[in-house]
Chains A and B, each alone.
Chain A
Amino acid sequence: MTEQKAEKPKRELPLSRQLVNKQTEDVYASAWAAKEKGESIGWSTAIFPQELCETFDVPVLYPENNAASISARHFGNQFIEHTEGEMKYPINICSYARLNMGMADMMKNGKFEGVEPAMPLPTFLCLANNSCTQLMKWYENLSENLSIPIFFVDCLFNYNEEEPDAYKNKYVRSQIENNIAAMEKFFNKKFDWNRFLEVQRISQVNRKLFNEIVALNTRMPAPLDGFDLFNYMSCLVICRGKESTTEILKQLKKEVEEHIANGTSTFRGTEEYRVHWEGIACWPNLGFNLKTLRKYGVNAVMNGYVTAWDVAYEPGDLNGMAKAYQCSSTNSFSTPSIMDMRSKSMKKFACDGMLCHVNRSCKLMSFHIFTGRDIIEARNKIPIVNFDGDQSDTRVFSEAQFENRLQGLVEVMKENKGGK
């Protein structure tokens, strides 16, 4: 008799999640179809004005998002090893870059045995440095290795807390316009300004819907496990200008409203504490983090990362769009600006504490955590703990340290709640 292992019954994913998976599959499939036909395929940084390629109807994939998926499936190490070994890149650069540059090089040299999800090699790159400067270096290296051009929107860092001066906006807008002209030549297609307006409109509908859903998590207890937001974020990253995202988000909103009406939540367990999660998820350790948070009754109801795609402007207003791209992402702002947003958000979401991922890959996010601590402690009077991790490099995160730090946070939160 063969021994049989009792398989845990898999929970059926909610319809919204099934739609997300389907959407992702479709996006990858259309890129592979373009590859088959020898057409243009782009790789883009996560907060590039996607409205341009969407209007041109050219498929675009997103290496940061792809690296996150590959890391969450624990397939990342082979690529990271290739980058650090054969390609000789130092270990200190962002692990998304290490993963992606390694994958691109292995694909180029036919050393690639397939991975899920696999991106076809691009024929052009779209680069916006609003998330960080490393992206610029990463894309320079891709461009050189693959001999392909970059469409670049330099977004400028907002070092002051005031509104950016008009001359900054003028430069960012000029780049968007010049990129449109350059893309027209490269794709050999005319840019359809009416379609552009439509894409802008859809993008605004989508970001507003996402904001509304996130805001529903201010309810106590929250209808969503905050980590779920990471799963839906990809719609805004890879399909912000598509109607399929509108559908998904409408469905999700419906599901969340049902949870509210029924007094249920996707958070498994009792929500005893609500925390703000600062930084990117540790993708390879997502399961462990989730399980450990639940174990202590902690729902990370909100995180700053998922709001990075809230690129808000009036459709038809190119200046406004330029400004929105200049002013998106945690990493395009000074620490006081970011912490002002965080402080307000933590009040709105009634957070009892702040759990900060000191991400070895992401210097700037880590800087914000170090320098922002005083600001949050003074304004919100809640405990803050840091833990070390990385979004893709599995060598940094320690389960023991994470649990230990979380325990410390819980103890203080408990005390603050009068020991209950």
Chain B
Amino acid sequence: MSLTDILEQFAYIANNPNAILKKYIEEGKDVIGCFPIYTPKPIIDAAGAVPMGLWGGRITPTFAGKYSPVFTCSIMRSCLELGMTGRYDGLKAVIMPILCDTFRGMSSSWRAGVTDIPLIALVHPQNRTDLGAQDFLAQEYLSVKLRLEKILNREITDESLHESIKKYNYQNALVMKFSKLALNHLDVIKPLVRHYILKSAQFISVDEHIRLMENLIEELEKLPEHVWSGKRAYFIGITAEPDELLQLFDKYNIAIVGDNLAQESRQFRTDYEICETPFWSLSSQWMHIEGCSTVHDENADMLEKFIIKEAKECAADSVVDCLMRFCDVEEYDYPDIAKCCEEEGLYCLCLEIDQSSEDNGQTLTKIQSYSEL
């Protein structure tokens, strides 16, 4: 497969989750919807089902307003709308980690508005330094497994869980390797291309994504190194969308050199420890997550420090905060991040992201000013 073919495949997958869902269903596969950000995907894979990320879409919700206030983040409003209007039909269940207040509310909204797709909710322990936290999470994941077994009417064995955990760790390693490699090929791995590669993992099985990533890395390694002379941005936030936004960065010769986006690198940064029991392995991942707005850390400045360290490691000259409108967990973190960036000599750009409204031109102005620095 040529590099162009591989990149086209990533782009197709990232842009057509609905067609992929239909294809899986036609093939007789069970598909489980996964709400952002941390669903225990190995449990789904071990059940022989496909985990499919639910990240909303570019729509203007009309029905979702019945079960969600207007000041709900657009991701959840559009997920609810897509659920209520049948676009997610065929999913055997959805799994929702209750990471924020919107999720607390959405768990009931989903059950009220999308009655034929069962919801498996779970909650992560936020007091991670407490000795009981991991024990609790291992039990919570076990409970997810039991609920999933009931829905799929099949047993999920420890062996298959161990196998799936290994696959996800391998996928993490591949994505991290790609991120590094991409720095030498920023002429090819343009912002949108990079976004498609990482986002596509949300909509296909881990095996398929691994295969594509292996091919991609192989092809990239064949290319001569390219020295990038344009600007270098490190992206943070929930998602960097829509496509037009990333195209603007490309237009102004700005590369994305790394990210802490919930939809992208946050998905691949933390491995599962290999432990004796699969549930201890699964829960270990959460205990080690760093630099995420939805995960409490005892060190209050952990997030800013993490972002600065990462941005510097990939020689970024700016931090672009794709701030999801009405996402309070991210909104609370923005001021300290901006302050820290300033102190560390990194330009900080804040772009408001809203899936359901058109940009009013402010984004362009901000990107232009950054590019002219």
Contact = CB atoms under 8 A, between A and B. Distances in A.
Given A129-B126, A134-B328, A174-B132, A364 B104 contact: yes
B100 interface: yes
Nearest to A146: B300
B192 interface: no
A335 B101 CA distance: 13
A241 B109 CA distance: 36
A157 B109 contact: no
A132 interface: yes
Contacts of A364: 101, 104-105
A92 interface: yes
Given A90-B323, A171-B136, A367 B99 contact: no
Given A133-B101, A134-B101, A371-B105, A174 B334 contact: no
A160 B140 CA distance: 13
A171 B125 contact: yes
Given A89-B335, A133-B100, A157-B98, A370 B66 contact: yes
A175 B323 CA distance: 33
A168 B98 CA distance: 15
A133 B325 contact: no
Given A133-B104, A364-B104, A170 B135 contact: yes
A289 interface: no
Contacts, number: 151
B24 interface: no
B100 A92 contact: no
B71 A174 contact: no
Nearest to A134: B328
A200 B237 CA distance: 44
Interface residues of A, number: 51
Most buried by B among A90, A138, A174: A90
B127 interface: yes
Contacts of A363: 69, 71-72, 101-102, 105, 328
Interface stretch (A148-156, A190-198, A229-237, A247-255): A148-156
B104 A138 contact: no
Contacts of B334: 88-90
A12 interface: no
A299 interface: no
Interface in B97-137: 98-102, 104-109, 111-112, 121-123, 125-127, 130-133, 135-136
B338 interface: yes
In the A-B complex, the 10 residue pairs with the smallest Cβ-Cβ separation, listed nearest first, are: A367-B105, A174-B132, A335-B108, A144-B300, A137-B332, A159-B121, A171-B136, A154-B127, A167-B139, A90-B331
21 contacts: A88-B334, A89-B331, A90-B323, A133-B100, A133-B101, A143-B300, A150-B298, A152-B127, A153-B127, A154-B125, A154-B130, A156-B123, A156-B125, A167-B140, A171-B125, A171-B135, A174-B130, A363-B69, A367-B109, A368-B108, A371-B112
Interface of B: 65-69, 71-72, 98-102, 104-109, 111-112, 121-123, 125-127, 130-133, 135-136, 139-140, 143, 293, 296, 298, 300-301, 323, 325-326, 328-329, 331-336, 338
